[in-house]
Amino acid sequence: MEMKSCQTHVERALDEYVAKTESYPILTKIENDENLSTKCDFCEEPAMYLVGNK
């Protein structure tokens, strides 16, 4: 499972990840220009963080 989040929603993404998977995720900052069009899972802002298990 993987979630994407902007700066505003990163804590919410972490909370939801833990609630759904019962494990703590690895938080990765998205820096690749290719990912600029990736949107936050909670709003329309560009995602800044990837919340996942790798």
**Residues within the interface to Zn ion (CB under 5 A):** 6, 8-9, 40, 42-43, 45
Q: How far is the CB of 34 from Zn ion (least distance, A)?
A: 19
| Closest chain position to Zn ion (CB) | 40
- In the bound state with Zn ion, the residue whose beta carbon lies nearer, of 9 and 50, is 9
For strands 3-5 and 49-52, give the pairing: antiparallel
Q: How far is the CB of 27 from Zn ion (least distance, A)?
A: 14
Sequence-distant (≥ 6) Cβ neighbours of residue 21 within 8 angstroms: 1, 53
What 3-state class would DSSP assign to 54? coil
